[in-house]
Copies of this chain bind each other. A is one copy, B any other.
Amino acid sequence: MRTYFECIPCFIRQVLDAVRMTSDDQQVQLQVLRKALRLASEADLTQSPPAMAQQIHRYIRELTADPDPYIEVKDKFNKIALQMYPDLRTRIEKSIDPLETAVRLAIAGNINDFGVTSNIEESHVPKTVAESLEAPLDLNALDDFRKAVTKAKNILYLGDNAGEIVFDRLLVEQLPYQKIAFVVKNGPVINDATIDDALITGMTDVVEVIDNGSDAPGTILDSCSEQFRDRFDNTELIIAKGQGNYETLSDVDKDVFFLLRAKCPVAARHIGCEIGDMVLSRNTIKTGAKKP
């Protein structure tokens, strides 16, 4: 998905939110804001929105000399999700269709996205979980997903955020996990999951965990390591979590299931859904369907 004009003011607002979360120094905030404005003024809008975000978050980490400004947020949401894990696992196992319940919960876990808004309250998480079990979900896509994961000889599960990774673990446990590798970012960017989060949340006990060699909040293949790109090319099926992965992979010619909650009007329009919708959608590029 390219960067639309509407993404620009939203990007500037996100950068302001982000730098305020990471520094109280007004001079630092101003410097980052000015840098974001310069970046946006020169941006290649054929690139996806995470390309700009990758650059500005690098700059924030450099300027604040803080290699991981979201570490406390990540720890907090990992802990919240881990506390919920035993109960959620029981719910999945006792449900009529454990895979459906696990898919719903994995999408619910995608609420926790500081790239879009910093106003995530701890108290929202149980409410989102409850809603996700009842909200509309494309059951044809679910059926398709069920068949595809059974058939595929190998699968990459591209993670999104810390905290959310616990919900991903719940889904991975319902999948044929022997043929799955879970993918984290190579280094901190916003609250995206890294290898540390995979270790803390026990993901590494369930499946192979690899990093993509990149610090983009999404999967910009050109920014990933050659090793990861080889792996990506030689994998039959991709499960991609979150809007950042949707934005960066929606135009890639690959069999991808996107699992996310739509968080902005531009992505919702591109997907063909409403803001807040639970999305389980297979990449339609190979079938020749045109994106709007």
Q: List residues of A whose CB falls within 8 A of some B CB.
A: 5-6, 8-10, 12-13, 16, 29-30, 33-35, 37-38, 40-42, 45
Question: What residues of chain B lie closer than 8 Å to A40, measured between beta carbons?
Answer: 37
A9 to B30, CA, bound (A): 13
A16 pairs with B6, CB closer than 8 A:
yes
Oligomer: number of copies: 2
Within the complex, which residue of B29, B34, B45 is in contact with A30, where a contact is CB–CB below 8 Å?
A: B45
Q: What is the distance, in angstroms, from A3's C-beta to the closest C-beta of chain B?
A: 11
A45 to B9, CA, bound (A): 18
B29 pairs with A5, CB closer than 8 A:
yes
A17 and chain B: residue at smallest CB distance: B9
18 pairs from A and B in contact (CB 8 Å cutoff): A5-B30, A5-B33, A8-B12, A8-B16, A8-B33, A9-B12, A9-B13, A9-B16, A12-B12, A34-B41, A34-B42, A35-B41, A37-B37, A37-B38, A37-B40, A37-B41, A38-B38, A38-B41
A26 and chain B: residue at smallest CB distance: B5
Q: What is the distance, in angstroms, from A271's C-beta to the closest C-beta of chain B?
A: 22
A38 and chain B: residue at smallest CB distance: B41
Question: What residues of chain B lie closer than 8 Å to A9, measured between beta carbons?
Answer: 9-10, 12-13, 16
Extra contacts, 6 of them, besides A8-B37, A9-B10 (Cβ < 8 A), are A5-B16, A5-B33, A6-B16, A8-B12, A34-B41, A37-B41
Q: What is the distance, in angstroms, from A27's C-beta to the closest C-beta of chain B?
A: 12
Q: What is the distance, in angstroms, from A111's C-beta to the closest C-beta of chain B?
A: 23
Q: What is the distance, in angstroms, from A28's C-beta to the closest C-beta of chain B?
A: 12
The 5 closest A-B pairs by CB, nearest first: A37-B41, A9-B13, A9-B12, A38-B41, A37-B37
A10 to B19, CA, bound (A): 17
A34 to B38, CA, bound (A): 9
Question: What residues of chain B lie closer than 8 Å to A35, measured between beta carbons?
Answer: 41
Question: What residues of chain B lie closer than 8 Å to A41, measured between beta carbons?
Answer: 34-35, 37-38, 41
